[in-house]
Structure 1
């Protein structure tokens, strides 16, 4: 599957849905970004069940700021609308494959229960 260009118009629609989405925050002037691009594209061909999206941080500054992107490339892994991984740095192909495997193995019922528990705690702390 080819990568999807993510913009402020389609980001939430693509990332918030069910399934796994890998997002590459990049810029054309960034050397490590250009090195990582073929690794990311190759992984997208090997994993048609995963959505691979790219955010051009120069064209989509609002998205980059919203996610606090200060170093590129930054890779973000989202599953069922929950961010499971977000780290700067270009990964070599074996490390990207390992990350994909780990993201696919996560028990999302457990993650969602933990997120709900944390939200309840926060609401309890802010209640008057």
Structure 2
């Protein structure tokens, strides 16, 4: 599966998906960024291996508003949104094995527990 270009216009459709249970990996990048260009093939190969997940790219130059909403300060930054919850966000290009491990960890999350923690945080403050 190829990656989707994520913009502020299609963000909700991509991240929420038809059933609200989407699992989206987002690569925040820019054309001038060397590490971003190095990470791109790793991200693309992962998208081919994990075709049940949505892989999206955000060009931080073209989508400054979206990058600002995620408080992107360094690129590349990888973010994972699962069932509408940001479960991971970290700058830096990952090697292929580390990305595969991260995807496995995100798959293993108990989303019922994650949603309960989010609800508790919202109620507390």
Q: Which residue does 2:114 correspond to in 1? A: 111
TM-score norm. by structure 1 comes to 0.93
Secondary structure of 1:83 counterpart: strand
1:30 aligns to 2:33 (yes or no): yes
**Segment of structure 1 superposing worse, 31-40 or 61-70:** 61-70
Q: Which residue does 2:6 correspond to in 1? A: 6
- Which consecutive segments of 4 or more residues in structure 1 shift more than 2 A? none
Q: CA deviation at 1:12?
A: 1.9
CA–CA distance in structure 1, aligned partners of residues 52 and 22 of structure 2: 8
* Structure-to-structure mapping, 1:1-128, within 5 angstroms: 1-16=1-16, 17-122=20-125
- Structure 1: tracts of 5 or more residues without a match: 123-128
**Segment of structure 1 superposing worse, 4-13 or 21-30:** 4-13
Q: Which residue does 1:126 correspond to in 2? A: none
Q: CA deviation at 1:19?
A: 2.5
| Max Rg structure | 1
Q: How many residues of Structure 1 are paired with residues of Structure 2 in the alignment? A: 122
Q: CA deviation at 1:66?
A: 1.0
CA–CA distance in structure 2, aligned partners of residues 40 and 107 of structure 1: 24
| Cα RMSD after superposing both structures | 0.7
